[in-house]
Each structure stands twice: as C-alpha cells, then as structure tokens.
Amino acid sequence: MSERRRPTLDELEGFRAGLAHALALRRREGTPDEEAERSLEEADRQLRAHRLTDAERTLVEIDRRLLHASPERELSEFPRGLVSYTPTDGPESPTPPEDDPLRNRLVLLRRLAALRASQGREVARILDTLAQAERALDAGDRTMAKRLGEAAHGELEAPSDRPPGHRTTERHREP
C-alpha cells in the first residue's frame, strides 16, 4: 500500500487562507473562535519554519473545530433542484416576463434554431412558428404558445436530411 502524498507548502498556505477567511467571517458575525485563531497563528509559525507535517496537523484540527461548531446542512427541501419559487411580491403577483418559464423556453428554442442554422439547417419556417408562439403568449394564449413551441422544438430536434455543413441559400435551392 502506498503512503499518502504530503501536501506542498503552497497547498497548505491555500488551506490556511481558507481557514483564515472562515475565522474572519465568524468574527464579523460576532461568534469569534479565539482558540482557533491562536491555533492559526501557530500554524503560521509552523509554515514559516517549513514544518509542514505539524502545520498540516494544526490546520486539520482548526478545520475540524470549525466544522463541529457550524456543520454544513444538506439542502433537503428541493433535493433535485429548484422546481418552483414564490415571487418576492407574493404568491398572487404576476410572474415578471423575464421569469416566465414558457417565455424562457421560447428564448432557448430561438437559440437552438440559431445553432441549427449555423449547422446548415433551414430554420425560417421554425422561426416563423416561434414568432407565432411569442405573439400568442403576448395575447395571453399560453396553450397555443406552448403547442407552437413544442411543434418548433420537434422540428428542431428532427434529424436533418442534409449532410452536416450543407447550406441552402435563397438564390440556389436543391430540387
């Protein structure tokens, strides 16, 4: 079994900087840990003397102390990511346009259309469909906007009958 690699001076100084930051935050929050701060000073002396094994041991002890004092809590309310939120104006307030999931989906579909165009796909008809979807959304017809967006998405994801890099211009179209 191989022996564990010892950290370098640079790595230990980075570890020390992170712990110093955490201790400074605790002090600003009004919960200083003076014993840990004294231990950090000792680690500084050990690092300056190139006693890396001792410095590592001291820094690990400080880290454990800080972890014990304020353990990280696992987010469990939405463990698979954010699935909804309550607007700051309250649950009954209208969703601002920049937060509307359907509008954002249409923006992403436009970006996908731009990507497909850069790959040589003809996307004019798809862009027209997306424009219709946006007009429907602006008129308050979310059902129609969603249906049109899904149709455009289906066309964008459909396999192309053209080879990659093939471009069709307005002046010359293949029969």
pLDDT one-digit tens code per residue, 9-43: 989 999 999 999 999 988 988 889 999 999 999 99
Same domain, 146 and 101: yes
Would 25 be classed as within a structural domain? yes
Q: Which structural domain, as residue segments, surrounds residue 141?
A: 97-157
Would 83 be classed as within a structural domain? no
Number of structural domains, the chain? 2
Q: What is the pLDDT of residue 175?
A: 42
Same domain, 60 and 14: yes
Would 141 be classed as within a structural domain? yes
Least confident piece of the model among 12-21, 25-34, 133-142, 152-161 = 152-161
Same domain, 63 and 101: no
Q: If you average pLDDT over residues 105-127, what whole number do you get?
A: 92
Distances (CA, A) of 39 to 6, 9, 10, 165: 20, 18, 19, 63
- Structure-block tokens of residue 10: 């640079």
Would 88 be classed as within a structural domain? no
